[in-house]
Amino acid sequence: MVMRRVVKLTAFGAPQVLSIVREALAPLAPGEVRVRQTAIGFNFIDIYQRKGVYPLPLPTGLGFEAAGVVDAVGSEVAGLRVGDRVAYMNAGVGAYADLRNVPADKLVTLPETITDAAAATLLFKGMTAQYLLRRTYPVQAGDLLLVHSAAGGVGQILTRWATALGAEVIGTTGSPHKHEAARAAGCVAVVDLNDPDWPEAFLTASGGRKARVVYDAVGKDTLIRSLDCAAPFGLVVCYGASSGKAPAVDPELLNKKGCLFLTRPSVFPHNADPATFRANAADLFDAIARGHVTVDIGGRFALDAIVEVHRAAEERRCSGALLITP
């Protein structure tokens, strides 16, 4: 019997509702691979699910992405062997564990140039940036972009990659002490969202030019005013809700604000089948190899400190990505 340590959520609420249990791991099903995880990524959606904003059937695990080593291979698995380094970001919740059974078609093999820590902290966030920059809108050289939460995990990756593509990025942050991280990622200017006149501050920073695309991961507190920052026929992308669920938008408002486009995409439909997932991952790995995408690991925590991970993220004590090690 193979035992594992795994984080369980039995009730929605504050970080302390999370607990670590020791349990038997189910035998491998056909098509599954047992992964001994070496690095686990944290994403803000984990908080939404823990709090019940995005409710899951209870009890449940949490976490979407991890990297590790193939520990055992089930029947009907081709192309993977014990000892292979792998990562995933779309195998359902449950990444907060030291061992996990994962469908083989949800795994991508890691090239030698990508460390386990980089894969675990970059895959979900990097694949989010990949679809935002390549699919939602193909960013071109010369485009002006407004990136909310530019000092966060996705925000920094999005800013670096967009800058490498020749776009100009103005970022926002929720606190002044994160301005330096946003600038280091490539923002030509940074606006403080605590300023009640932040849209005007954006226009001042841009010289009056509005954004071709606004990437809004904040939601409730920013979406309506994000519309004021988009150029005529521009695109506002609401891809997160760190301040709460975004409000409904009357289509007539989009007309009045400049015949704008508004979309609410997510990473999983953009990587729904194995071939697409691996092709998008290859694009991300190429961007990493070129130095277009890097990760700033703002905090490293043991799995035993999972409550502290969630507290640090919710209190916005760390800039960049958070890494959890089993």
Cis previous bond, 138, omega within 30:
no
Q: Which residues of the chain have pLDDT under 50?
A: none
**What is the reported pLDDT for 173?**
93
Q: Does residue 68 sit within a domain?
A: yes
- 202 plus 223 within the same structural domain: yes
Q: Give residue 243's pLDDT.
A: 81
HSE-CB at 292 with a 13 A cutoff on CA atoms is: 18
Same domain, 145 and 236: yes
Q: What is the pLDDT of residue 315?
A: 85
pLDDT for 80:
95
Same structural domain for residues 162 and 245?
yes
Q: Find the domain containing 94 and state its range.
A: 3-122+271-325
Same domain, 107 and 199: no
First-to-last alpha carbon distance for the chain, in angstroms, is 20
The burial class, CB within 10 Å (0-12 / 13-18 / 19+), for 249 is middle
End-of-domain residue from the set 212, 244, 263: 263
* Residue 95 pLDDT: 98
Q: Report d(CA 211, CA 208) in Å as an integer.
A: 10
pLDDT in tens, 147-195: 999 988 889 999 999 999 999 999 999 888 889 989 999 999 999 999 9
Residues 67 and 160 in one domain: no
pTM: 0.86
Task: Give dist(CA 324, CA 39) in Å, integer.
Answer: 6
Q: How many domains does the chain have?
A: 2
Which pLDDT score is estimated for 242? 81
Q: What is the pLDDT of residue 159?
A: 96
> 109 and 145, same structural domain?
no
